[in-house]
A and B are shown apart, each in its own frame.
Chain A
Amino acid sequence: MANMKTRNHIWLHLGLISFTLLAIYPVLWVLALSFSGQQSVGLIDLPQDPSFLERLRAILPVPEHWSVKNYTEVWTEQQFGRWLWNSVVISLMTTLLGVFLACTAAYAFSRFRFPGRNTGMLMFLVSQMFPGTLMLIPLFIIIVKQLELGNTYLGLVIVYATTSIPFCVWMLKGYFDTIPYDIEESALIDGASRLTIFWRIILPLAKPAIAITALFSFMTAWNEFILASVFMESEANYTAPVGLRFFVGGFSSQWGYFAAGSVIVSLPVVALFLQLQKYLISGLTAGSVK
């Protein structure tokens, strides 16, 4: 009986380990490539007539020579630093704008009864059902042609904030709903105005949910590629994802820079995730059930 259990465990773990390897293999490949100091997508130059062992070696995600050359050069010889800066500014502005608007909107949806309340919430939901690319042309017309905000930070910030707000509003409204109204009434009698209650009672209490929506807004802007590649015309205004594509598009194939850049781009998100992990669990469930 116990034996059988152990055997099942071994099989289970073998299965899980192989799936995990399958999932992280591309990531390992990118990591290896970034530390290889070369630009080709393969890690090893195979001889004319490779043996089996040589072939096996070629698929291992380990570089032939370890080097940080790709990292240093991506900073010094390319405009990558500039692009990263663009991404940071745009993502932070998106987060600020998106979270602020989402908080105020969600508070209104949660606490006030007004005509169009249900329709409004529904419209937010419906807007999430269309793929982002479908919005490309209308957004291009509005932002670039009519508002003339093409090739600017503000243009992208507006677009990113509006795409992240619906999710944030739903998330925050769910959380606000769980904050007992008694607390607000008590503050009202204590002499606080609506605005004071919002700033000094509701927002501090909703920290977990705000952390999640901030993370979501940030990532929306940080990872987005298609809109940024269409809106940003000059190289100096590229965001990091668009810049990365620049390394391997058209006539260049600088896979080493691409890999090093990708690792750098993913680091802030990983760090944020680790930082906000505790909120992530409580925040994501907190909105759903009381």
Chain B
Amino acid sequence: MASIRFDRIGKSFGETEIIKNLDFSVNDGEFMVFVGPSGCGKSTVLRMIAGLETISTGELWIGDRVVNDVHPKDRDIAMVFQSYALYPHMSVYDNIAFGLKIRKLPDADIRKRVQDAADLLGLDKLLDRKPKALSGGQRQRVALGRAIVRNPSVFLFDEPLSNLDAELRVQMRAEISKLQRRLNTTTVYVTHDQVEAMTMGQRIAVLSACDKAHPRDTNLMQCGSPMDLYDRPDNIFVARFIGTPNMNIVHARLGDDGATLSSLGGSMPVSAQFKEAAQARRGQEVMLGIRPEHIGAPHEVDWPQIQAVQGQVEMVELLGHEAILHFRVGEQIMVGRLHSHGRLPSPGDTVTMHLKCEAIHLFDPVTELRLR
């Protein structure tokens, strides 16, 4: 068991700085998910924890020691790779036992530990097989077995589910979560899939690229519990990244009284949580964010404070239990949600939708940060 602490960690390849100023920690026994679009450096950060990448600046702590210069094998970690990275010429048993054999544990001990891990993962009947005779899900399990058998203080997962089909992914997602809760081992899990992040993580760190095209002080956009990120995104990047369909972000202007907000051809009250911030920015431009589930048809929703918006239907996506409505308000495409069993509008229709005013998020148009 161990916590992981990033103390102003940075990483450059030559002149190119790809990780900047990471400063946060993963608590002991916590399931932390790193999520971000491809190229944001999340895998690099994971590999720095594993010791597969060097750290350019800052200090990385695992437990009570700085591990910048500690060899991967001495960091007491186990890693599961996207490609599984099983040893193709070894049986399942030998794959799982390899790390223990290298560490010269007694044979009886190895046999017991491998057997326990195999039982836990349902691999006990496959121990003699070679990896090529296994299905994707079974290979993934062997990779998990190889990680847990060593009983490390930190688990690292590098997009472990992205090679599996959709059904298996959902199943393994639950299994990994369950396994982690049972073993209670500090875990860092990297994914680009925000659904995986939301469902698995006790906390989520949203990372973003940090390069010339995206000048930022740090790759870390926000770190918090899933609902924290969902309900109170720190910035527009997180607001858009977490949640499907994406949050609607539109321009708005605060009224001279600082209590109203004009946007989308109407004017609406500023919600309580932004009162002070809005007072301070009277008459200024802001960005308004609202999630699709907070835009609904008038007869389907019953919200205390609403703002009606009129637009033209562009597209309706039917999902079974609900329908996603894309409609145009002026130049702006908005996304809202309808119950799928009501009468659905067709493209070209004019619709009136209601916005839930308390659910509106406000961001600074320049810094893109949430107003406080």
Contacts and interface: CB of A to CB of B under 8 A. Distances in A.
Interface of A: 180, 182-183, 185-192, 196, 201, 204-205
B146 interface: yes
Contact of B102 (A182, A191, A204): A191
A204 B95 CA distance: 14
28 contacts: A180-B83, A182-B81, A183-B85, A183-B86, A183-B87, A183-B88, A185-B52, A185-B72, A185-B79, A185-B81, A185-B85, A186-B79, A186-B81, A186-B86, A188-B52, A189-B50, A189-B72, A189-B73, A189-B77, A189-B79, A190-B98, A190-B146, A190-B150, A192-B98, A192-B102, A196-B102, A201-B87, A205-B88
Contacts of B73: 188-192
Given A182-B81, A182-B83, A188 B72 contact: yes
A191 B103 contact: yes
A202 to B, nearest CB: 10
A127 B83 CA distance: 38
Contacts of B150: 190
Contacts of B243: none
Nearest to A183: B85
Given A185-B79, A191-B103, 15 more contacts: A180-B83, A182-B81, A182-B82, A182-B85, A183-B85, A183-B88, A187-B98, A189-B51, A189-B73, A190-B99, A190-B102, A190-B146, A191-B73, A191-B102, A201-B87
A194 to B, nearest CB: 11
Nearest to B75: A189
Contacts of B51: 189
> Interface of chain A, helix or strand or loop or mixed?
helix
Interface in B58-112: 72-73, 77-79, 81-83, 85-89, 98-99, 102-103
A27 B289 CA distance: 85
Contacts of B87: 183, 186-187, 201
A204 B86 CA distance: 14
Contacts of B102: 190-192, 196
A192 B94 CA distance: 14
Contact of A189 (B78, B86, B89): B78
Interface in B138-158: 146, 150
A149 to B, nearest CB: 39
B45 to A, nearest CB: 15
Nearest to A188: B72
Contacts of A204: 89
Nearest to A203: B89
The 4 A-B pairs of least Cβ separation, nearest first, read A190-B99, A182-B85, A186-B85, A191-B73
A140 B364 CA distance: 81
Contacts of A192: 73, 98, 102
A236 B286 CA distance: 97
A186 B98 CA distance: 10
B289 to A, nearest CB: 39
Contacts of B50: 185, 189
Interface string B29-67: 000000000000000000000111000000000000000
A185 B47 CA distance: 10
A182 B78 CA distance: 13
Contacts of A191: 73, 99, 102-103
A242 B85 CA distance: 50
Contacts of B103: 191
A182 B85 CA distance: 5
Contacts of B77: 189
Contacts of A205: 88-89
A17 to B, nearest CB: 42
Interface in B109-167: 146, 150
A190 B146 CA distance: 8
B65 to A, nearest CB: 18
A286 to B, nearest CB: 13
Contacts of B81: 182, 185-186
Nearest to B143: A186
Contacts of B88: 183, 205
Contacts of B98: 187, 190, 192
Contacts of A196: 102
A196 B98 CA distance: 11
Nearest to B71: A188
Contacts of B83: 180, 182
B103 to A, nearest CB: 5
A180 B85 contact: yes
Contacts of B52: 185, 188-189
A50 to B, nearest CB: 65
A178 to B, nearest CB: 12
B96 to A, nearest CB: 10
Nearest to A190: B99
A201 B103 CA distance: 16
Contacts of A185: 50, 52, 72, 79, 81, 85
Nearest to A192: B102
Contacts of A189: 50-52, 72-73, 77-79
B110 to A, nearest CB: 13
Contacts of A190: 73, 98-99, 102, 146, 150
A166 B98 CA distance: 34
A111 to B, nearest CB: 13
